[in-house]
Amino acid sequence: MLLAACAVLALDLVLLAIGVGGLRALLHHARALALFATWLAAAPLLAILRPAGRVRASDAVAARPDAPVMLVLVLIPLLTPMLAALAERARLWPLPGGAALRWGGVALAAAGYALRIAAMVQLGRRFAPVAAVQRDHALETGGLYAIVRHPGYLGAWLCELGIVLAFGSAALVLPALMAPAIAARVAGEERLLEEHFGSEFRGWRARVGAFLPRIGPGPGNPGPPGAPAASG
């Protein structure tokens, strides 16, 4: 998996360099370098986590493949840094806010990435590309999942938005396109969880918002603490 992580990093570097105008331009683009440094720092951790997150077919009692949605959720984040950098270079509808907005975007991207990784850490081997419920799997709602039901997807979207803001360009259409794909993925996962866990899942859903904390106590049974089976 370390080899695969290095290959992904190399691809990220190539696409980012294309976006900013070449390797020499990249070396003089502080925000682009800061974004890449974030990916570089996270790569070893992701290489460790991803093998543990695989769900074997023999371990899954229920699964909901969604290949088209997954393709969108892979391609948009992969291409966003390059497209956002190209838009900045072409001065395509630059966003107001100057350096503060752009460096704020770098910080938001890093925070979103950190949230995504933290959700992966909490799920451990239950993190998987395919939404699945495993054998002897208890519905958990603790930690990050006591605050929002899908912290991983929230982190991924915040990272996407942060990258666009870091280049201050009109590429805001990219996080806008990613949002319905995330919503479709979440809907499929939640149908699977409701089918498997029934009222236990419905109680958790009543108490905890999907992407934003729910203010005040929600209806339904409290249910036991823990974390969901799917990758969000």
State which amino acid sits at residue 152.
Answer: G
Q: Give residue 225's pLDDT.
A: 36
CA 176: distance to chain centroid?
14
Q: Please give the sequence-ordered ranges of beta strands (E in DSSP) within 108-232, or none if there are none.
A: 131-134
C-alpha to C-alpha distance for 75 and 70, rounded to whole angstroms = 9
C-alpha to C-alpha distance for 187 and 228, rounded to whole angstroms = 14
Q: Give residue 217's pLDDT.
A: 55
pLDDT averaged per 10 residues in sequence order, the chain, 232 residues: 81 96 97 96 76 47 70 95 96 91 97 94 73 66 93 96 93 94 93 88 94 71 40 56
Q: Give residue 15's pLDDT.
A: 97
Collapse the DSSP code of 80 into the 3-class scheme (helix H, G, I; strand E, B; otherwise coil) and give the result.
Answer: helix
pTM: 0.86
Q: What is the pLDDT of residues 20-48, one digit of tens each?
A: 999 999 999 999 999 999 999 988 777 77
Collapse the DSSP code of 84 into the 3-class scheme (helix H, G, I; strand E, B; otherwise coil) and give the result.
Answer: helix
Residue with tokens 């395919």: 130
What is the length of the chain?
Answer: 232
Q: Please give the sequence-ordered ranges of beta strands (E in DSSP) within the chain, or none if there are none.
A: 60-64, 131-134
